[in-house]
Structure 1
Amino acid sequence: MKVGIIGVGLMGHGIARNVLLHDGHSLVFLDHPGNQPVDELRGLGARACATPAALAAVCEVVILCVTGSAQVEAIIAGENGLISGLNPGTVIVDCSTSLPNSTLRMGAAIREAGGDYLDAPMTRTARHAHEGSLNLLVGGEAEVLDRVRPVLDAFTETVSHVGPLGHGHRLKLLHNFVSVGFMSLLAEAAAQAADAGIAPQVLVDVLAGGGGASAALDRLAPYIVEGDREGLPFAIANAQKDIDYYRAMSEDAGARQTIADGVATALAAAAAAGHGQAYVPELVRIFRRDDIA
């Protein structure tokens, strides 16, 4: 299939290389200063487009892998956006983490322009993107999903159809609230343990043998014990954005968000102290007594 991707960052680069390595798909990407180095992609046959409209004009499938709703809306409906170059039947696959209400608006705009829309946020990490083993939570019509499965299969381990349009992003925000919430709680506990002089490996072993055993512990343990942050290259600022999106979704739904408010306060304090680009595992250090208040 003729595939385009907008957002060749840590996750998007892995997606792009796997699309090129599987099943003879062609690929174009949006030329952007925020891209990771694209020499490998060009070597595999990818080429750059100057605008989203130019990219849409030569694609059957367009994958979006950008920061959030503001970026998605600008790419779709802004000047030289996808809508102005869209071919009938083109499928937009939004792998970003976005607000469900924005997703519904963008889906309606794409349908009015003759295309189709899927929200397909990712779980797992940049390593899994490079390996082609991401998991996708897909909202939208099953028939549209079936049309683009040959592309999605190139960079995923599982593709789960979770309901109508918007449900993918809603579930991603629920997932990230639980995941980031667990890791923030664990980081605070690990910081207190370190302040008290508890050996890091002892803390990890006690948690792993009891109710603290979790994916959050697996991801933070390398930092707790060895100071290795690379197992989870996810910036605190991005985690804060996702929690704020979750809170906005909760407010729209009239849902309780007491715990989310606490997590947001902790992450906002870390970001305000200049740690926004630090990785989430580094909260273990940032939350210690001698770092930030």
Structure 2
Amino acid sequence: MSGNEKIGFIGVGFMGHGMAKNIVEKGYALTVLGHRNRGPVDDLVGRGAQEAKSPAELAKQCDIIFLCVTGSPQIEALVNGPDGIKQGAHSGLIIVDCSTADPVSTLKLAADLEPLGVHFADAPLGGTPAQAEAGQLSTMIGASADVFTRIKPVCAAWAAKIEHIGQVGDGHKMKLLNNFLSLGYAAIYAEALTLARKTGISVETFDRVLRGSRMDCGFYQTFMAYALGHDPAPHKFTLANAAKDLRYLAALANASDVANPVGSAVKNSFAASVAAGHGGDFVPTLTDFVAAANGVKVRPD
């Protein structure tokens, strides 16, 4: 059962709905921010959550607020906007950013909020929407020891693996490294499948060789669900979000004076697909874009 913390949640989309559902079902008092997409909000209210009309109203009612939105511009707007969290903030409030964000922005927000007695933590996610619904996500948390102690029980409502990475900003740094690896694999898979098709190797043959080998992994399996059966549902993460994360990685590398030519190549692969109008499509569809650029289809009609 839960403690006495009152929890707020903003961003009940693909990942956030499952997280919020697990929070309220584990007995926490939950308030969610209303949204024009009424389905997830109405579902959570039906499970016992309350609804707030603005971030400021939500902040007044809560002790810990989880944010699960696209990235740093959206987080900054939610905190600093005219009816934002800061307008309803109170000493002791904790804001937990579960998005994949720019660590520079994260550190600035934390510094700006500190004089108000408001604590900021970053807790980006690992996993899929299905794992969010099941309460089986992973999270990598950047927070002070005291803040981590307070938020860990609530995170345990939706995460099976919780890693305290270090101080504020460190969670987002680790998440960018994680996404560099996963999205790098996606770019390699898309190119390898295109080359396979171009040279007469079918996607089924490709998969028979790799599945169960040392090159197999959970990311490979959700990615290949689309290549094999045109099912994007297991991997609900858009090309636009992927490109955004890779831009954040590039900025981190630049700020750290690190040459990252592989990261640049991966970023350009995703950026090209977004520029061609595919930003709303899910990551495994990168295969279609790369194949079409080379005059083939991975799965012929």
Task: Rate the CA distance shift 1:209–1:16 in 2: closer, same or farther, 3 A.
Answer: closer
Q: Give, as a single letter, the amino acid of the residue that structure 2 aligns with 1:285.
A: D
After TM superposition, the structure 1 stretch with the greater mean CA deviation from structure 2, 179-188 or 167-176, is: 179-188
Q: Structure 1 residues 35, 168: CA separation in 2 closer, same or farther (over 3 Å shift)?
A: farther
Partner of 2:124: 121
Q: Could you tell me which runs of 5 or more consecutive residues in structure 1 were left unpaired when the two chains were aligned.
A: none
Residue 55 of structure 1 aligns with an amino acid whose one-letter code is L
- Give the structure 2 partner of residue 257 of structure 1: 260
What TM-score does the superposition give when structure 2 sets the normalisation length?
0.92
Alignment of 1:107-146 (within 5 A): 107-146=110-149
Tell me, yes or no, if structure 1 residue 18 matches structure 2 residue 22.
yes
Cα RMSD, aligned residues only: 1.7
1:68-92 Cα offsets, whole Å, 9 max, x none, are 0111111111211111111211111
Count of matched residue pairs: 291
| Paired amino acid for 1:16 | A
User: Do the aligned partners of 1:8 and 1:36 also contact (CA within 8 Å) in 2?
Assistant: no
In the TM superposition, 1:1-293 aligns within 5 A as 1-22=5-26, 24-33=27-36, 36-208=39-211, 212-288=215-291, 289-290=294-295
Partner Cα distance (1:290, 1:278) in 2 = 20
* Alignment check: 8 A CA contact 2:10 2:67 kept: yes
Secondary structure of 1:79's aligned partner: coil
Unpaired runs of 5+ in structure 2? none
Stretch moving more, 125-134 or 202-211: 202-211
Partners of 1:188 and 1:283 within 8 A in 2: no
Structure 1: distance between partners of 2:71 and 2:169: 14
Distance apart, 1:201 and its partner CA: 1.9
State the alpha-carbon separation in 1 of the partners of residues 273 and 74 from structure 2. 24
- Deviates most, 277-286 or 221-230: 221-230
1:111/1:36 Cα in 2 relative to 1: closer, same or farther (>3 Å)?
Answer: farther
Report deviation, 1:267: 0.9
SS at match of 2:164: strand
The C-alpha deviation readout for 1:73-132, integer Å capped at 9, x for no partner, is 111112111111112111111101111111011111221111111110001111111111
Question: In the TM superposition, what whole-angstrom CA distance separates every residue of 1:171-210 from its partner, at most 9, and x where no partner exists?
Answer: 0000001110111111111122123331212111223465
Worse overlay, 146-155 or 234-243: 146-155
| Residues in 2 aligned to 1:213 and 1:28: alpha-carbon distance in whole angstroms | 40
